[in-house]
Structures are given as C-alpha cells and as structure tokens.
C-alpha cells in the first residue's frame, strides 16, 4: 500500500510537538517565521501556522495545543 504524501507537515517545518511545553512550542513557531518581517507579521504567521495545524489534525490533544498557541499569537496582535 502506498502512503499518501501529506500536504501539511508542521513538524518538518517548525519542530512543533504537542508533548512540548507551551513556551517551547511557541518559541519554535516564532523561530520558523520569516525573520525579515516585522514582529507583528511574524506573530501573524506563527498564529496562522498553528491555526492551520489545528484545522487539519484529527488528534484532539494536538488540536487543543495548536488552538492555544494560535490564540496566544493572535492575542498578542491586539
């Protein structure tokens, strides 16, 4: 049986894992954002990555952690 290629691989791009502590996950998401952007846009990019992960996962623990991280970054924009 052939494996399908995943179109979204956040762990490959960011190193994010649901078992990590919240500060570590958020630091990795922010580090994966484009460094040439302003801090506001980096927060936005990190929040969108976390939101995208929460939207595509079927694991409830991953969904909760990713949503928490997305809400954290979106909350920093206000």
* Residue % of the chain over a pLDDT of 90: 72
With respect to residue 72, please indicate whether it lies within any of the assigned structural domains: yes
With respect to residue 6, please indicate whether it lies within any of the assigned structural domains: no
Range of the domain at 56: 18-76
- Domain count of the fold of the chain: 1
Confidence of residue 12 (pLDDT cuts 50, 70, 90): low
With respect to residue 1, please indicate whether it lies within any of the assigned structural domains: no
With respect to residue 31, please indicate whether it lies within any of the assigned structural domains: yes
Mean pLDDT, the chain, rounded, equals 89
With respect to residue 55, please indicate whether it lies within any of the assigned structural domains: yes
With respect to residue 11, please indicate whether it lies within any of the assigned structural domains: no
With respect to residue 10, please indicate whether it lies within any of the assigned structural domains: no
> Residues with Cβ < 8 Å from 66, sequence gap 6 or more?
16, 18, 50, 51, 53, 54, 57
For residue 14, the model assigns a pLDDT of 85
Question: What mean pLDDT is predicted for residues 23-31?
Answer: 95
pTM value is: 0.84
What does the pLDDT look like over 43-72, one tens digit per residue?
999 999 999 999 988 999 999 999 999 999
């Amino acid at each position: 049986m052939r494996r399908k290629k995943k179109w979204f691989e956040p762990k490959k791009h960011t190193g994010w894992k649901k078992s990590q502590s919240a500060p570590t996950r958020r630091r990795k998401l922010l580090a994966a954002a484009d460094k040439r952007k302003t801090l506001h846009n980096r927060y936005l990019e990190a929040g969108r990555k976390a939101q995208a992960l929460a939207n595509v996962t079927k694991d409830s623990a991953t969904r909760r952690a990713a949503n928490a991280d997305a809400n954290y970054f979106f909350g920093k924009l206000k």
